[in-house]
Amino acid sequence: MNPDASTLALASIEFDLSAIEEGQSVTILWRGLPVFVRHRTQKEIDEAKAVPMSDLKDPATDEERTKPGHEQWLIMIANCTHLGCVPVGESGEYDGWFCPCHGSVYDTAGRIRKGPAPKNLVLPPYDFISDTLVQIG
Amino acid sequence: MGAPMSEHSTYTPGTGIEKWLDERLPIIRFSKEHLMDFPTPKNLNYWWTFGAILAIMLVVQIVTGVILAMHYTPNVAMAFDSVEHIKRDVNGGRIIQAVHSVGASMFFAAVYVHIFRGMYFGSYKAPREILWILGVLIFVLMMATAFMGYVLPWGQMSFWAATVITNIFGAIPVLGNPILELLRGGFSVGNPTLNRFFSLHYLLPFVIAAVVVLHIWALHVPGNNNPIGVDVKSSRDTVPFHPYYTMKDLYGVVLFAIPFAWFVFFAPDILGHPDNYVMANSQVTPAHIVPEWYFLPFYAILRAIDFNILFINSQLGGVIFFGGSIVILFFLPWLDTSKVRSGTFRPMFKWFYWLFVINFLALAYLGAAPAEGVYVILAKICTAYYFAHFIIVLPVLSRIEKPRPLPASISESVLGKAHA
Ligand code: HEM
Ligand code: FES
């Protein structure tokens, strides 16, 4: 009953970022999973960088959450790490995401700040092929 | 205790054919022994009709389900529309679909009554432990079946129920991810998930039917428990199953059919969620995720653990308590060691029993409430009490409680009542 070949064939995708303005985010599908691609504002980046590690349940720096030279792009699997609902963007007390299912709150780097979720929103494996083209998976 | 199985048969094959059959496959003898002559305590009340109601409900689900499967399409692009097609175009489809989806709720209502009946009257105690364990197993299989059935219409609630529930298994350390992919047949809930859920949803009811046979077998070895919990002492304590209990059960079934029919004909959707009339969308979660009512108490327990316990994170913690709340039922016969079966003769147990019932209902209420403020705290208290009932209250009561004197026999208790 393991995943068949046609399912595995969807394992890797390329995505063009050029149409996403600063402050915008889109949700795309990768391996059937929704993935948030957010073009962060400078304010959001600064906010994320200012958080002391001791405030975090699952400590990770903003640098670890993004790729060097592409800090404005936050690419994360959009399923809440609690039980997989899709959190709502630009909401919650930390200006990031709020999960309507059981009330988990994420910050502007997608890190868990409050609620039953144990971990930060998961980063898919991805690489920048050029400044505007990214390969996920 | 009931006489061994073969001794209470009054069957003598009438015709030559019956005699011929009886020597080869004594199926008529068997049926007569177990469905007609079976000596049954004469004091069973209406709480004892729920076993028969459950048997009928299983048949109802299988018959309506098989008909639904003739018109249903297990494909993510067509499943939602095919259920609508059943409701609108198929002859009688609106009723058959409503009987099946309301039937699942009625099935659970009956099973809860049946389980709580057993808990009050101590039906899980020796020599009925295996009977009880098989019952809990049926309950678990029913939950799996109902959950997978709920996914089939492929609405928003179907999809997110599938996501959240399969993720519960993903929380298991090490094996979590392989199990998750196996359950889903992919990296996320999608067409392979729907296909395997349909296959299993078709299969499991027949597995349930097989376990029901074992359940009744295990019942017919010691015979029924009864409201005073005193063993059958002589044939004066029993009456033959037919016609006394076939009629009583049938009457129970008819009464049960009244609310069932009311839901089917007048409010087929009242137990469901409007969001399930929106087709599944993997990119948007409905604002308020709630399972079907019959899962609410266990769902409340799952959500109540939003803190890490030592090295166990909040997600796994919730899953452990959720699983534990059901697994603990298997151990009930060894947690309550009081020799007295019926709660009627246990002055302290009786109160704690009702407290447990209220606590269970409170958990159901909290499972539907938003996870915020005072609800979060209450859910934690109720969860703690749920476990305390099994781990602390029952073992302690068994030791300190002084039961009331038991009637000498079933006959005496019945006649005593008539004189009073
Ligand atoms: C233990 C017995 C069963 C239970 C508790 C059960 C429960 C359920 C539930 C809760 C649904 C969702 C209904 C809705 O929301 O519309 C469903 C759907 C369905 N079930 Fe069952 N079921 C049982 C047996 C069966 C059997 C034996 C079949 C035969 C194949 C079957 C076939 C279907 C089909 C085709 C659907 C999808 C159509 C629909 O949504 O109404 N079920 N079931
Ligand atoms: S799924 Fe997001 S809080 Fe539970």
B192 and B245 within one domain: yes
pLDDT at position A11: 77
B272 and B240 within one domain: yes
Buried-state track B5-35, b at ≥16 Cβ within 10 A, e below 16: eeebbebeeeeeeeeeebeeebeebeebbbe
Does any domain span residue B118?
yes
Mean pLDDT lowest among B136-140, B232-236, B283-287, B383-387? B283-287
Query: Which residues, listed in sequence order, are joined to residue A107 by a DSSP beta bridge?
Result: A95
Ramachandran region of residue A4, left (φ > 0), alpha (ψ -120 to 50) or beta?
Answer: beta
In the block, residue with structure tokens 């296959």: B199
Q: In the listed set B244, B260, B290, which residue is the last one of a domain according to the structure?
A: B290
Q: Is the pLDDT of residue B419 over 80?
A: no
B321 and B264 within one domain: no
Mean pLDDT lowest among B288-292, B298-302, B342-346? B288-292
B248 and B173 within one domain: yes
B189 and A32 within 8 Å at the Cβ level: the answer is yes
B168-180 pLDDT, tens per residue? 888 888 999 899 9
Q: Is the pLDDT of residue B221 over 80?
A: yes
CATH number at residue B243: 1.20.810.10
Residue B4 DSSP one-character state: P
Does any domain span residue B176?
yes
Q: What is the mean pLDDT of residues B25-51?
A: 96
Q: What is the pTM of this model?
A: 0.88
Question: Binning pLDDT at 50, 70 and 90, where does residue B6 land?
Answer: very low
Mean pLDDT lowest among A53-57, A115-119, B137-141? A115-119
Q: Is the pLDDT of residue B314 over 90?
A: no
Q: In the listed set B234, B264, B290, which residue is the last one of a domain according to the structure?
A: B290
Give yes or no for residue B65 CB within 6 A of ligand 1.
yes
What six digits make up the tokens of A111?
Answer: 């890190």
DSSP B261-273: HHHHHH-TTTTS-
A100 and B186 within 8 Å at the Cβ level: the answer is no
Question: Binning pLDDT at 50, 70 and 90, where does residue B2 land?
Answer: very low
B150 and B86 within one domain: yes
Mean of pLDDT over chain B: 94
- The strand pair at A33-39 and A25-30 is best described as antiparallel
pLDDT at position B5: 42
Does any domain span residue B24?
no
pLDDT at position B99: 98
Does any domain span residue B258?
yes
pLDDT at position B216: 97
User: Which residue among A7, A34, A81 places its CB closest to the CB of B186?
Assistant: A7
Q: What is the mean pLDDT of residues A75-84?
A: 93
B192 and A7 within 8 Å at the Cβ level: the answer is yes
Does any domain span residue B30?
no
Number of domains in chain B: 2
B284 and B154 within one domain: yes
What six digits make up the tokens of B159?
Answer: 């999809």
Alpha-carbon span B130 to B3, nearest angstrom:
19
Q: Which residue segment(s) compose the domain that B162 sits in?
A: 49-290
pLDDT at position A46: 95
B280 and B194 within one domain: yes
* CA nearest to A33 within chain B: B188
Does any domain span residue B413?
no
Residue A86, min C-alpha distance to chain B (Å): 5
Cα(B303) to centroid(ligand 2), Å:
9
Question: Binning pLDDT at 50, 70 and 90, where does residue A116 land?
Answer: confident
B364 and B258 within one domain: no
Give yes or no for residue B154 CB within 6 A of ligand 1.
no
B200 and B70 within one domain: yes
B395 and B253 within one domain: no
Q: Is the pLDDT of residue B373 over 50?
A: yes
Interface residue of B187, B189, B313, B316 to substitute, partner A, most A CBs within 10 Å: B187
pLDDT at position B8: 59
Does any domain span residue B5?
no
CATH number at residue A19: 2.102.10.10
Nearest residue (by CA) to ligand 1, atom 28, is B65
Q: In the listed set B290, B321, B356, which residue is the last one of a domain according to the structure?
A: B290
Mean pLDDT lowest among A4-8, B50-54, B96-100, B307-311? A4-8
pLDDT at position B420: 43
Reply yes or no on whether A102 is catalytic: yes
Give yes or no for residue A81 CB within 6 A of ligand 2.
no
Q: Which residue segment(s) compose the domain that A56 sits in?
A: 5-136
What six digits make up the tokens of A114?
Answer: 């409050």
Q: Is the pLDDT of residue B368 over 60?
A: yes
Q: What is the mean pLDDT of residues B51-75?
A: 98
B242 and B98 within one domain: yes
pLDDT > 90 in chain B, percent: 84
Q: Kindly give, in sequence order, each residue whose CB lies less than 8 Å from that of residue B418, ignoring residues fewer than 6 positions away.
A: none
Does any domain span residue B32?
no
Helix and strand counts by DSSP (H, E) for chain A = 3, 9
Q: Is the pLDDT of residue A114 over 60?
A: yes
In the block, residue with structure tokens 């499972």: B367
Judging contacts by C-beta atoms under 8 Å, the chain B residues touching residue A3 are 181, 185-187, 192
Number of domains in chain A: 1
Q: Write down how long chain A is.
A: 137
B309 and B377 within one domain: yes
Give yes or no for residue A49 CB within 6 A of ligand 2.
no
